[in-house]
Amino acid sequence: MKKIIAIAILFLSLTANAQTDAELITQTLNDFLEGGTNGEVERFKGAFFSDAIQKAVGKTGVTGMSVETLASKIKPNQKMERTTRIISWSYAGTAATAVTESEYANNKIIDLLNLLKVNNQWKIISRVYSRIEKNEDVTSSNPVAADPKAKGKTPAATSATKPAPKPKKPVADDGW
Write the pLDDT tens digit of every residue in 86-106.
Answer: 999 999 999 999 999 999 999
- Residue 39 DSSP label: T
Q: How do residues 103-145 score in pLDDT, each as one tens digit?
A: 999 999 999 999 999 999 999 999 999 999 999 999 888 666 5
Domain that holds residue 45: 21-154
Per-residue confidence (pLDDT) for residue 18, from 0 to 100: 76
6 occurs within a structural domain: no
Alpha-carbon distances of 158 from 3, 9, 53, 64, 89, rounded to whole Å? 43, 34, 30, 34, 12
Residues 131-135: contacts with CB under 8 Å, at least 24 apart: 131/56, 131/107, 132/107, 132/108, 133/107, 133/108, 134/103, 134/106, 134/107, 134/108
Cβ contacts of 66-72, under 8 Å, gap ≥ 24: 71/41, 71/44, 71/45
- Count of structural domains, the chain: 1
- Could you write out the DSSP letters of every residue in 122-162? EEEEEEEEEEEETT-----SSHHHH-GGGTT--HHHHTTTS
Amino acid residing at 12: L
Upper half-sphere CA count for residue 64 (Cβ side, 13 Å): 11
pLDDT tens-place string over residues 27-53: 999 999 999 999 999 999 999 999 999
Banded model confidence at residue 174, pLDDT cuts 50, 70, 90: very low
* Residue 7 domain-assigned (yes or no): no
Q: What is the model's pLDDT at position 158?
A: 40
The answer as to whether 167 is a domain residue is: no
CATH number at residue 31: 3.10.450.50
Whole-number pLDDT of residue 3 = 63
Q: Model-level pTM?
A: 0.73
